[in-house]
Structure 1
Amino acid sequence: MEENNLIKKCQRGDKEAFQKLISQYHPIVHKFLVKITNHEQTAEDLTQETFLKIIRNIEKFDIEGKAKFSTYVITIAKNAYIDYLRREKRAMQNTPIPENLNIEDVHIQVEETVVNKLYGQSILENLEGLSEEQKIAIKLKYIEGLTLKEIGDQLNLETKTVKSRIHNGIVRLRKQLEKGDER
């Protein structure tokens, strides 16, 4: 009930209430984003982006609705991460190939890739080939150690949907790894 009063104050533009809300949820959002991005600076940037979106759209949250505020916050964080990945993908597609590309540089990059795989990086790399839904569910389950119910609560999904995403992601990951072993 206290949280609902805080949210109502935020919806009326109370800056002090916003500070309390941000202080309360910042650690949760940041930890969630660190786990799914696996990168501290990216997580911090996305945490800030998440809270900017929450501040701009706080009036849209329905206190009387079914969703908990924590679910609302994590959903915004997850969507910020997905938007970030889309921006990164577009940036990579628009990166021109350097005219002075040295074949020696390419050989060094290939050698580094092989070495990284030998040191167990192939699983993390292959995670990137999964859908965002599968990747997030797998990271929350196996890196953060959440239960299927906890993941479902955070992502606002049914437990069976989470289980299916994890299962399908692991099956796909195994196939990718088997292909890598054949080479």
Structure 2
Amino acid sequence: MEDKELIRKCQTGDKEAFYELISRYHPFVYKFLVKITEDEGIAEDLTQETFLKIIKNIDKYDLDGKAKFSTYVITVSKNCYIDYIRREKKWMQAIPIDENSNIEDISTNVEDLVLDKMYNQDIIEEIENLTDEQKLVIKMKYIEGLTLKEIGDKLNLETKTVKSRIHNGIVRLRKILWKGDGYEKD
């Protein structure tokens, strides 16, 4: 059975379809999470959390949208992992998501790449070399998970100033990332 047909059945509440969907994607999600967590127990917990979220929100998945279901599943699992890191305050020890992996479309924009790579100790060290203003707002946005408005309120800055500082810091980090990956981009 094709994914679309299976998902359509799930959206109507077919329990057997849910079982088949989970059976089909469980190894895919579990292997991905083992790779980024390097811990089978945490990976299994996050895999279960991923499927609970998928089941709960299956009716929101757009069958006619551009994103493949596999991309949607990996996005949900990546977000579960990021939530776990934030909950457990283990961001300093986290393993980055490898954007060169065979899993398609994990991170397609620069901010996602920075978020994924930020957990790598080398990048955290590079963040320390940014200006104090850039360093502070990037940590508040990507590590603490604050919105631009919340950051602005805490620092008594305009939202556009916060956005500008984050953008400039990301540009600088992007150059570091490209050079570190062998992609000279100046």
Q: TM-score range by the shorter chain?
A: 0.5 to 0.7
Decide whether aligned partners of structure 1 residues 5 and 154 sit closer, same or farther in structure 2, where only a CA change above 3 A counts: same
| CA–CA separation in structure 2 for the residues paired with 1:37 and 1:58 | 25
Establish whether residue 136 from structure 1 lines up as the match of residue 96 from structure 2.
Answer: yes
Is the 2:96–2:116 contact (alpha carbons within 8 Å) kept by the matching residues of 1? Answer: no
Decide whether aligned partners of structure 1 residues 156 and 14 sit closer, same or farther in structure 2, where only a CA change above 3 A counts: farther
| CA–CA separation in structure 2 for the residues paired with 1:161 and 1:57 | 22
Structure having greater relative contact order (Cα 8 Å, sep ≥ 6): 1
The structure with the largest helix share of the pair is: 1
* TM-score normalised per structure 1: 0.58
Partner of 2:134: none
| CA–CA separation in structure 1 for the residues paired with 2:82 and 2:24 | 24
Percentage of pairs with the same residue: 53
Q: Which blocks of at least 5 consecutive residues in structure 2 are unaligned?
A: 128-186
Decide whether aligned partners of structure 1 residues 4 and 156 sit closer, same or farther in structure 2, where only a CA change above 3 A counts: farther
- Kindly report which structure 2 residues correspond to 1:171-182, keeping only aligned pairs within 5 A, or say none: 172=123
Q: Which runs of 4+ in 1 moved over 2 A?
A: 158-167, 169-176
Decide whether aligned partners of structure 1 residues 49 and 7 sit closer, same or farther in structure 2, where only a CA change above 3 A counts: same
Deviation at 1:158, TM superposition (A): 4.6
Partner of 2:72: 72
1:136 corresponds to which letter in structure 2? P
Q: How many residue pairs get matched?
A: 127
Decide whether aligned partners of structure 1 residues 18 and 165 sit closer, same or farther in structure 2, where only a CA change above 3 A counts: closer
Establish whether residue 155 from structure 1 lines up as the match of residue 106 from structure 2.
Answer: yes
CA-based RMSD: 3.3
* TM-score normalised per structure 2: 0.57
| CA–CA separation in structure 2 for the residues paired with 1:53 and 1:161 | 21
Deviation at 1:172, TM superposition (A): 2.9
